[in-house]
Structures are given as structure tokens and as C-alpha cells.
Amino acid sequence: MVESYLRFLKKKYNITNKKATIRDIIKDQEVDLNVLNEQGNLVLNLVIMEEDIDLLKLLLKLPEDYKTKSADPNQIDTKLGWSPLVTAIN
């Protein structure tokens, strides 16, 4: 699931490095983490569904040296119709 968001970011920011991760991209690019991917998913919801707690913590509170701002946990995923909190509960 998170892989689909990674592909979305690579396509959107024209990143050809096959080894680039979400962490790499959000550190080096000014990414809006509240934008839905082509399937209507928020990255936070995908990370929660995969139970990647370390990435979730990072997305919610990014270090100051990152170009990206932290994700908004109150955004609604249009595919699921849920906020990240509701996704976590379910």
C-alpha cells in the first residue's frame, strides 16, 4: 500500500532513483503529505494500515531539516472516507 504512494511521489516529482524511499523524498523535496494519491488515499492512512509506526511518527513530526511539512492527521481519505484516527481504530 505504501508502495503505491511511493510510486505516486516518484512520478509526481520525476524521481528516477529506484532506491529512493518516502523518507528520502520528503527530506529532499517540498512534498504536500496531505495530497491524495491517484486512488484517493492519504499517505497517513496507508502507513497506518501497514502498521509502520516509525514512518507514522516521522510523518506526523518531521525534523526541522526536512523540506516537507508534517502531515495533517485531520485530513479525510476520499477512498475510505476516514481520517487517520478512524483508520487506526478500524
Q: How confident is the model at residue 80 (pLDDT cuts 50, 70, 90)?
A: confident
Which residues, 6 or more positions from 63, have their beta carbon under 8 angstroms from its beta carbon?
none
Check which CATH number belongs to the domain holding 8 and give it: 1.25.40
| Buried-state track 11-39, b at ≥16 Cβ within 10 A, e below 16 | eeeeeeeeebebeebbbeeebebeebbee
pLDDT, average across residues 43-60:
94
How high is the pLDDT of residue 1? Answer: 81
**Looking at residues 63-68, what average pLDDT do you find?**
93
pLDDT at 79: 87
pLDDT the model gives residue 63: 94
Residue with cell 506526523: 60
Q: What is the mean pLDDT of residues 50-56?
A: 95
Longest dimension (CA), the chain: 36
Domain that residue 29 falls in: 2-89
Q: Is 49 exposed, middle or buried (0-12, 13-18, 19+ CB in 10 A)?
A: middle
pTM above 0.75, yes or no: yes
Count of domains in the chain?
1
